[in-house]
């Protein structure tokens, strides 16, 4: 009942918000006609990073042309932004939003600087948020669950569409005697606890009748485990792109199970609660820009790979494989997403990996707050 009420209230408030935005714009236009004083807005010159592919740069610039107009017409008089620095966390695998520079270009005219801090994986990013180092960051479905269990004051801001699962695997070296997934019983299995791989291995074991206690868990970030795995020194690993794509290119991986069909709820952008509640207009702008560049990326995978490769230091063919196996677009925190994530939370508790039951409602904003931070373009795609 609550979920349906949340969704109805969310959409109702969004309609009100959009109508008020239209009235505001009409009033602003009339004011400019009769105002004899001329106001100039100093636009920042922060653009996209210089990259080797001029075509990719041109394509991305085309994507952000409408953004410039939007910033100049809708957000000049923003008064609800209570910070002059947005601190973004990103993971070692790379971040399209960071590389494209769309946030810097949109926010500089508003007097907001963007700072980026890198983390090995989602659990480390969540810890960085918990100790106040970052305001916003993207993680899989699992890290915010364990962060909530640890008492972190976080909120789910917006969802990331689930992938097909082809880019995440349980794997062994090619020469391994282990032939099937059931053969990993009793084996040392490397993955990062509290990451999306944690949910993946738990679901995969359940599927074949094994328990979590049937394996020896070795917790290690994928970036640290990859080289040892490529050298054949790790018997079983649970990891994903770009590490999987690198191993495939070297012929040093044999897949026992992909994540396909294991009902991940996708990823999320998570924010500190204080930051989210104090800066709804800033969050709306950020979500709008991330959604736009994500839509462009999914429509232009080759150009996206060219954009990312200089940053990730991956060969272009490997980077394109990574891009094609992931998703970039966002989805709102509606009733369906909330229900899916609660299901994952309950699954961890059922398997004894959480000390007590958790309610996702404790890490959500109100329907009114979600309406304030969610761009209309994100709702219209549903």
Domain identity same for 157 and 184? no
Q: What are phi and psi of 88, to 5 degrees?
A: -100, 135
Q: Are 144 and 359 in contact (CB under 8 A)?
A: no
Domain identity same for 285 and 143? yes
Domain identity same for 65 and 120? yes
Domain identity same for 140 and 54? yes
| pLDDT 10s digits, 344-360 | 999 999 999 999 999 99
Domain identity same for 117 and 227? no
Containing structural domain, residue 199: 168-258
Tell me how many degrees the CA angle 372-161-276 measures, rounded to the nearest 5. Answer: 30
Q: Is 348 helix (H, G, I), strand (E, B) or coil?
A: helix
Q: How far apart are the first and last CA of the chain?
A: 21
Domain identity same for 143 and 276? yes
The 3-state DSSP composition of the chain as helix, strand, coil percent (nearest 5) reads 50, 15, 35
Q: What CA–CA distances, in Å, run from 371 to 171, 224, 284, 288, 338?
A: 42, 40, 9, 13, 15
Domain identity same for 95 and 176? no
pLDDT of residue 193 exceeding 70, the answer is yes
Query: Residue 114 and residue 150: Cα distance in Å, rounded?
Result: 28
Domain identity same for 82 and 115? yes
Domain identity same for 284 and 213? no
Average pLDDT, the chain: 84
Domain identity same for 234 and 85? no
Provide the number of structural domains found in the chain. Answer: 2
pLDDT of residue 133 exceeding 50, the answer is yes
Q: Which domain CATH number covers 236?
A: 3.40.190.10
Query: Residue 355 and residue 158: Cα distance in Å, rounded?
Result: 26
Query: Residue 177 and residue 186: Cα distance in Å, rounded?
Result: 14
Domain identity same for 156 and 175? no
Would strands 168-172 and 236-240 be described as parallel, antiparallel, or unpaired? antiparallel
pLDDT of residue 295 exceeding 50, the answer is yes
């Amino acid at each position: 009942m609550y979920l349906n009420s949340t969704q109805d209230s969310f959409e109702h408030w969004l309609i009100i918000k959009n109508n008020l935005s239209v009235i505001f714009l009409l009033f602003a236009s009339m004011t400019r006609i009769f105002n004899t004083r001329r106001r100039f807005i100093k636009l920042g010159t922060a653009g996209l990073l210089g990259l080797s592919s001029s075509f990719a740069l041109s394509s991305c610039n085309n994507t952000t042309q409408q953004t410039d107009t939007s910033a100049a017409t809708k957000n000049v008089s923003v008064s609800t932004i209570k910070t002059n620095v947005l601190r973004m966390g990103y993971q070692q695998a790379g971040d399209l939003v960071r590389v494209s520079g769309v946030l810097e270009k949109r926010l500089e005219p508003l007097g907001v600087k963007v700072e980026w801090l890198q983390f090995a994986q989602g659990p480390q990013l969540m810890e960085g948020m918990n100790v106040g180092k970052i305001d916003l960051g993207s993680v899989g479905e699992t890290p915010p669950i364990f962060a909530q269990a640890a008492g972190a004051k976080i909120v789910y801001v917006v969802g990331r569409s689930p992938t097909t699962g082809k880019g995440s695997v349980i794997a062994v070296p090619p020469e391994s005697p282990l032939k099937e997934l059931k053969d990993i019983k009793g084996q040392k299995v490397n993955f990062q606890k509290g990451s999306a791989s944690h949910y993946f291995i738990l679901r995969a074991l359940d599927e074949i009748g094994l328990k979590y206690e049937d394996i020896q868990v070795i917790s290690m970030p994928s970036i640290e485990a990859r080289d040892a795995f490529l050298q054949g020194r790790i018997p079983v690993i649970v990891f994903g792109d770009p590490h999987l794509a690198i191993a495939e290119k070297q012929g040093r991986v044999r897949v026992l199970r992909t994540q396909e069909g294991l009902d991940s709820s996708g990823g999320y952008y998570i924010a500190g609660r204080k930051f989210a509640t104090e800066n709804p207009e800033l969050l709306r702008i950020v979500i709008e820009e991330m959604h736009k560049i994500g839509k462009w990326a999914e429509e232009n995978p080759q150009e996206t790979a060219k954009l990312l490769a200089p940053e990730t230091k991956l060969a272009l063919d490997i980077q394109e494989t990574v891009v094609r196996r992931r998703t970039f677009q966002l989805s709102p925190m509606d009733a369906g997403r909330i229900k899916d994530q609660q299901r994952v939370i309950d699954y961890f508790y059922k398997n004894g990996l959480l000390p007590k039951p958790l309610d996702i409602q404790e890490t959500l904003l109100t329907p009114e707050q979600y309406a304030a931070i969610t761009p209309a373009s994100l709702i219209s795609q549903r």
